[in-house]
Homo-oligomer: A and B are copies of this chain.
Amino acid sequence: MTAAELAERFALSVHGDAGAVVSGVATLAAARPHQLAFLANSKYRNQLPGSHAGIVVLRAEDAELAPHTALVARDPYSAFAKIAALFEPRPPRPAGIHPSAAIDDSAEVSPEAHIGPFVSIGARSKIGPGCVIGPNCSIGEDCSLDADCELQARVTLVARVRLGKRVRILPGAVLGAAGFGLAMEAGKWLNVPQLGGVVVGDDCEIGANTCIDRGALDDTVLEEDVRLDNLVQIGHNVRIGAHTAMAGCSAAAGSAKIGRYCLIGGAAGVLGHLEICDKVTITAMSLVTSSIREPGEYSSGTPLTDNRTWRKNAARFKQLDALARRVGASSKETE
């Protein structure tokens, strides 16, 4: 690809040699002359003058520093993402059903879908055109996949899971398992039947080994373009608003409602039966214990220190109320 071709395709402007050719992408530091790199974070600006990249995607104000050809973008990171996609290997997944697949007679598989080896598909489930079902996936009863979904490998859809268009699910994810619904009776646990399903909107992406339980009566719902990282836990009847992203190891307990355009940090938790409004950011490893009604960034936890300092301070945490009372008293005395 030449700089000119990329500029035209992605509405960028060329600064330097429009005929510069690249055949791949790399970081500013590692790129070689036939590769394209990007500069989005000013923290890395000092790497720009010495970069060997044949083309660098960057903001207008950095163009002068580029040692070779530059492509000027308003948002270099997005522009880079789109260019890099041109160089992404796309292993062929031709339409057709692997002979080993075990497909129920009542399932409907589009002739334009790819069904890999060791895949099972249960009664009444439907696989739309363009879908790719990788090796060792198991799809249970009454599931449906709209067009162009990808289940990469050993994804399990247990029952009543409905995916929109272009949903991508990474290996090991489990959707539609029974929610953790228990009642105690006479000293023993009684399972509360989980009769709902899971509904996943268009363009959602679900990370590796992530779990999304099916609802108890109503469905568990992800609106469109929700992004879940790896090892995320979504309890039954949770609802996640469009364009919300949850980082690795985060969790939302049963019946929590998370708004649109939220960012839930790694290993953060959201308790059940509460609501988070749109555009809320929760920082890593924070715990949300009550509803949030104002957009913004929220946190809990304490800062990391060396263990000896931490022990002294943590011991004082146990006395915090007493300390505050004492200060209150002391303060009054000195007034």
A302-335 CB mask vs B (1 if < 8 Å, else 0) is: 1111110111111111111101101100110110
> Which one, B217, B314, B317, contacts A27 given CB within 8 A?
B217
Cβ contacts under 8 Å, A85 to chain B: 191, 193
Cβ contacts under 8 Å, A281 to chain B: 307
A55 and B296 CA atoms in complex are apart in Å by 43
> Which one, B158, B266, B289, contacts A152 given CB within 8 A?
B158
Asked if B306 contacts A300 (CB within 8 A), the reply is: no
Asked if A120 contacts B122 (CB within 8 A), the reply is: no
For chain A, the count of residues having a C-beta within 8 Å of the partner chain is 129
Q: Which residues in window 245-286 of A have CB below 8 A to B?
A: 245, 247-249, 251, 253, 266-267, 269, 271, 281-286
Cβ contacts under 8 Å, A245 to chain B: 180, 182, 189
Asked if A330 contacts B334 (CB within 8 A), the reply is: yes
Cβ contacts under 8 Å, A82 to chain B: 190
- A158–chain B nearest beta-carbon distance, Å: 6
Cβ-closest chain B residue relative to A83: B193
A88 and B216 CA atoms in complex are apart in Å by 11
Asked if B243 contacts A247 (CB within 8 A), the reply is: no
Asked if B302 contacts A317 (CB within 8 A), the reply is: yes
Asked if A218 contacts B81 (CB within 8 A), the reply is: no
Cβ contacts under 8 Å, A223 to chain B: none
A283 and B307 CA atoms in complex are apart in Å by 8
A117 interfacial contact with B, CB 8 Å = yes
Among listed A13-21, A62-70, A107-115, A207-215, interface-contacting one: A207-215
Asked if B120 contacts A135 (CB within 8 A), the reply is: yes
Cβ contacts under 8 Å, A30 to chain B: 217-218
A259 and B120 CA atoms in complex are apart in Å by 40
A156 interfacial contact with B, CB 8 Å = yes
Asked if A78 contacts B134 (CB within 8 A), the reply is: no
Given A174-B170, A190-B78 in contact, is the A317-B320 Cβ separation under 8 Å? yes
A7 interfacial contact with B, CB 8 Å = no
